[in-house]
């Protein structure tokens, strides 16, 4: 142990005092900015400006999008630009030559149309639709004011015509993605149209095409547990059917309190499955149509979703496959069935300790090659794999790397290419930016169609995919639209660049894109920051977070947006922010897995760290006064902020929240909270934890919400009352699932002005002095 002399102790004491003083000075300097506290007159002016800007900002961003109308040959197209004062211009593009021109002279066309019709057309307000050009004949056909005209572009003469028919642009060379969960189609008539299968008193019969001379094939069915959902094999040799155990969907009720022409409220009841409710189950069987022999398929009953789509193997009349997601979302299979014996084999069998996001499972079958293109997160990122349909072996990964296949755009079976969207492939930009690619089935030949700009991209293709229009932007860079070639992504020509000058002239600045480390100190969390247009750098402002932490997606906008609710709210004197914390989608599987049986987490440790980093960088950001608002899952999150993180959040507005995951819809909540319903549902419920409330709370709910039952909010209110907690409750008569509409949004703004700025909002009921 080291012994200090009296002189050394004095020196250390002085050093400590000096360091403490320096820290206090730094803290004082950071907190030296006075809080923004508007007077009643100033806040009234802020409301007036906000309401004025809500109106004036409309139509202040021009040429932001292009909707191309391609000619059937795919070599030209036209589009319409909206200009200031709602005027329009029409542009014709020759893609082959890389040239664009005005489609016509507005003055001449308006005059010609006026002469050919019984009404007057204004050149300034000219509006035409369904334009079709024939350059060889120097004509254009169009619809205007509900009537059709042919226009001679050289002679400037128009004439009325009957509605014409036009050849449709044919999409070739690729296969559009189909929904994997498309509805099952029962089929009672055999493929050769000679036999008919049907169900009578719960049992299956097969007769001739008229249903006569029928022979009963099953005897254990009955109306309470019938056979059904019949499906023939393509060659008519087999009939797939199910022994069904029906389960009636349990009901929820809503009350319409304020219907017109009645003095009574009306109760409406409808089916609404909640977590833990039982599903109708299907026990698969196969009938040999020739021998009438029936075999039970050796697999578990399908007790989650409806009867599956059956896919018979090409060139094999004995085997078919179907897909099965197990309840609890932890196993996905492609199951092969031998129709002769009922035996089964798992072609794809994916299991996980957390969840498989069933909405994002992608399968594309190529029967001629006996291949399946399948998406999986088994290596920690969502990627595509080529699977041998007969053996179940993975031939090769199609994509790989620490990035996410966002969506499959199409499959070119002839060229054996996948066209897809992805994010995170480029390490030097926002990992959520969507880029477009194509790649060969064997994982080679990756073509990057959008690497020319670090931005969020949106592509539309010509009918034959020779060309594409790329519109790209970020929240801080307005949209640019370009025509490019799909062969190599090369630029054909620039088309438009959005004009935001009128918006900026109103005094607004674009939001800031801000990133900071999350809870682990390593992972980047991305968000945006809105400031008041009359921002005073010598004041500090409360934070309001716009929250939605639903695990089904990511939510911070990446493509350009200008004015919206966040900027509108900022106008009252707030720093308004939004970010995606851990537990949301479109990053790694580990990033997403944080939500598993853990929806109460809502990424709050990441969100709080992000806002503290924002305040550390900008002294104008007051992280000691923080509000939060959200709708639906965001409503659950915003109340959760006060229940689970009251030391950071001070005020919350929660609209139509799914406050207890047992009350909300089955399919969404079991996906993230799992099955069976366990104690973790209760432990994370806002109802169960209502007594923990600290801070100011406004609950908003529409009385006829058909998405999240209103009782989800009412149960929270009941628990708060029983816990003797103060809160505000706004019920909107006749309103469904929303943030409360214009009135609810106004109440939200007033609430934050009162609780965070500590001033009284304008009294709209006050009688004006005469």
pLDDT tens sequence across 305-349: 899 999 999 999 899 999 999 999 999 999 999 999 999 999 999
* Geometric angle at alpha carbon 495, from 492 and 500, rounded to 5°: 145
Q: Please give the pLDDT value at position 172.
A: 65
pLDDT band at residue 84 using 50, 70 and 90 as cut-offs = confident
pLDDT band at residue 186 using 50, 70 and 90 as cut-offs = low
Distance CA 296, CA 439 (A): 42
pLDDT over threshold 80, residue 178: no
Segment 479-503 mean pLDDT: 97
Segment 750-758 mean pLDDT: 98
Any bridge partners for residue 496, and if so which? 481
Judge contact between 540 and 621, C-beta under 8 A: yes
Segment 576-605 mean pLDDT: 98
pLDDT over threshold 90, residue 297: yes
pLDDT over threshold 80, residue 371: yes
Q: In this predicted model, what pLDDT tens digit does every residue of 393-412 receive, in sequence order?
A: 999 999 999 999 999 999 99
Pinpoint the residues of the chain covered by CATH 2.130.10.120: 184-247+275-356
pLDDT over threshold 70, residue 159: yes
Q: Please give the pLDDT value at position 167.
A: 81
Distance CA 723, CA 254 (A): 26
pLDDT over threshold 70, residue 17: no
Indicate left, alpha or beta for 695 from its phi (over 0: left) and psi (-120 to 50: alpha). left
CA nearest neighbour of 45 among 761, 766, 546: 761
- Helical segments of 586-688, H only: 589-593, 604-617, 633-644, 666-673, 679-683
Q: Please give the pLDDT value at position 675.
A: 97
Q: In this predicted model, what pLDDT tens digit does every residue of 533-577 receive, in sequence order?
A: 999 999 999 999 999 999 999 999 999 999 999 999 999 999 999
What's the mean per-residue pLDDT of the chain? Answer: 93
Segment 714-728 mean pLDDT: 98
* Terminal alpha carbon distance of the chain: 83
Q: In this predicted model, what pLDDT tens digit does every residue of 43-63 receive, in sequence order?
A: 999 999 999 999 999 999 999
Q: In this predicted model, what pLDDT tens digit does every residue of 675-702 receive, in sequence order?
A: 999 999 999 999 999 999 999 999 999 9
Distance CA 529, CA 549 (A): 17
Distance CA 636, CA 644 (A): 12
Segment 214-224 mean pLDDT: 94
Task: Tell me the DSSP string of 44-79.
Answer: HHHHHHHHHHHHHTTT-SBS-----EE-TTSSEEEE
Q: Please give the pLDDT value at position 21.
A: 42
pLDDT band at residue 87 using 50, 70 and 90 as cut-offs = confident
Q: In this predicted model, what pLDDT tens digit does every residue of 617-639 receive, in sequence order?
A: 999 999 999 999 999 999 999 99
Report the DSSP pairing between strands 651-655 and 696-702.
Answer: parallel
Q: Please give the pLDDT value at position 118.
A: 82
Judge contact between 182 and 133, C-beta under 8 A: no
pLDDT over threshold 70, residue 31: no
pLDDT over threshold 90, residue 187: no
Q: Which two tokens mark 672?
A: 């993230």
Exposed, middle or buried: residue 729 (CB in 10 Å: 0-12, 13-18, 19+)? middle
Lowest mean pLDDT among 88-102, 122-136, 232-246, 416-430: 122-136
Segment 345-368 mean pLDDT: 96
- Would you tell me the crossing angle of helices 604-617 and 633-644 to the nearest 10 degrees? 70
Q: Please give the pLDDT value at position 209.
A: 86
Segment 750-762 mean pLDDT: 97
Pinpoint the residues of the chain covered by CATH 3.40.50.1820: 33-57+512-755
Which DSSP helix (H) or strand (E) runs through 11? helix 6-31
pLDDT over threshold 80, residue 726: yes
Dihedral angle sign, alpha carbons of residues 6, 7, 12, 16: positive
pLDDT over threshold 50, residue 23: no
Fold topology of 184-247+275-356 = Methylamine Dehydrogenase; Chain H (2.130.10)
pLDDT over threshold 70, residue 14: no
| Statement: 33-57+512-755 belongs to CATH 3.40.50.1820 | yes
Query: For the chain, what percent of residues have pLDDT higher than 70?
Result: 94
pLDDT over threshold 70, residue 11: no
Segment 344-366 mean pLDDT: 96
Q: Please give the pLDDT value at position 1.
A: 39
CA nearest neighbour of 575 among 525, 610, 523: 610
């Amino acid at each position: 142990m080291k012994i200090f002399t009296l002189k050394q102790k004095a020196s250390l004491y002085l050093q400590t005092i000096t360091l403490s003083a320096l820290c206090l000075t730094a803290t004082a300097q950071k907190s030296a900015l006075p809080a923004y506290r508007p007077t009643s007159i100033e806040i009234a002016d802020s409301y007036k400006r906000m309401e004025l800007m809500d109106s004036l900002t409309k139509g202040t961003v021009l040429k932001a999008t292009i909707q191309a109308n391609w000619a059937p040959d795919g070599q030209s197209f036209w589009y319409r630009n909206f200009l200031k004062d709602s005027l329009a211009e029409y542009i014709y593009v020759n893609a082959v030559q890389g040239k664009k021109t005005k489609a016509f002279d507005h003055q001449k066309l308006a005059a010609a149309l006026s002469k050919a019709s019984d009404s007057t057309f204004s050149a300034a307000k000219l509006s035409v639709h369904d334009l079709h050009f024939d350059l060889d004949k120097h004509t254009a056909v169009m619809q205007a004011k509900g009537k059709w005209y042919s226009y001679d572009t050289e002679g400037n003469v128009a004439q009325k015509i009957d509605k014409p028919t036009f050849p449709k642009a044919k999409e070739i060379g690729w296969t559009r993605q189909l929904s994997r969960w498309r509805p099952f189609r029962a089929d009672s008539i055999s493929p050769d149209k000679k036999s008919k299968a049907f169900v009578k008193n719960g049992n299956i019969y097969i007769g001739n095409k008229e249903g006569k001379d029928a022979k009963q094939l099953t005897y254990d069915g009955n109306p309470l547990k019938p056979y059904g959902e019949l499906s023939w094999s393509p060659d008519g040799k087999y009939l797939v059917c199910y022994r069904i155990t029906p389960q009636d969907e349990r009901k929820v009720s809503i009350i319409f309190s304020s219907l017109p022409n009645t003095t009574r409220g009306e109760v409406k009841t409808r089916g609404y499955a909640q977590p833990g409710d039982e599903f109708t189950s299907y026990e698969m069987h196969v009938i040999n149509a020739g021998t009438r022999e029936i075999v039970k398929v050796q697999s578990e009953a399908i007790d989650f979703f409806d009867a599956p789509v059956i896919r018979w193997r090409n060139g094999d009349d004995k085997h078919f496959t179907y897909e099965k997601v197990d309840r609890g979302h932890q196993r996905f299979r492609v199951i092969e069935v031998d129709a002769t014996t009922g035996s089964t084999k798992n072609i794809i069998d994916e299991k996980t300790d957390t969840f498989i996001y069933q909405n994002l499972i992608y399968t594309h079958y190529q029967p001629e090659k006996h291949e399946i293109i399948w998406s999986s997160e088994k290596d920690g990122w969502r990627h595509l794999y080529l699977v041998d349909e007969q053996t179940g072996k993975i031939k090769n990964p199609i994509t790989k790397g620490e990035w996410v296949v966002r969506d499959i755009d199409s499959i070119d079976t002839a060229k054996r290419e996948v066209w897809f969207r992805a994010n995170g492939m480029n390490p030097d930009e926002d990992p959520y930016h969507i880029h477009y690619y194509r790649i060969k089935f064997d994982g080679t030949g990756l073509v990057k169609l959008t690497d020319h700009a670090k931005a969020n991209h949106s592509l539309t293709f010509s009918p034959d995919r020779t060309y594409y229009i790329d519109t790209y932007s970020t929240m801080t860079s307005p949209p640019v639209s370009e025509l490019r070639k799909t062969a190599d992504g090369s630029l054909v020509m620039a088309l438009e660049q959005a004009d935001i000058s009128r918006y900026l002239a109103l005094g607004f600045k674009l939001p800031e894109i801000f990133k900071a480390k999350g809870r682990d100190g390593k992972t980047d969390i991305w968000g945006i920051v809105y400031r008041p247009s009359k921002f005073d750098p010598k004041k500090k402002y409360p934070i309001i977070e716009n929250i939605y932490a639903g695990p089904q997606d990511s939510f911070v906008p990446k493509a350009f947006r200008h004015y919206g609710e966040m900027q509108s709210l900022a106008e009252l004197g707030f720093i308004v922010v939004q970010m995606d914390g851990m537990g949301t989608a479109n990053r790694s599987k580990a990033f997403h897995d944080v939500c598993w049986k853990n929806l109460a987490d809502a990424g709050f440790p990441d969100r709080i760290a992000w806002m503290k980093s924002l305040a550390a960088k900008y002294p104008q950001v007051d992280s000691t006064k923080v509000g939060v608002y959200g709708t639906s899952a965001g409503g659950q999150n915003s109340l959760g902020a006060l229940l689970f993180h009251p030391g950071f959040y001070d005020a919350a507005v929660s609209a139509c929240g799914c406050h207890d995951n047992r009350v909300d819809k089955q399919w969404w909540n079991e996906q993230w909270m799992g099955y069976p319903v366990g104690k973790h549902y209760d432990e994370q419920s806002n109802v169960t934890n209502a007594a923990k409330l600290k801070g100011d709370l406004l609950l908003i709910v529409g009385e006829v919400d058909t998405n999240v039952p209103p009782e989800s909010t009412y149960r929270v209110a009941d628990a708060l009352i029983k816990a003797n907690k103060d809160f505000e409750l706004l019920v909107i008569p006749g309103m469904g699932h929303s943030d409360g509409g214009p009135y609810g949004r106004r109440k939200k703004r007033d609430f934050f002005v009162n609780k965070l700025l500590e001033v009284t909002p304008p009294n709209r009921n006050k009688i004006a002095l005469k």
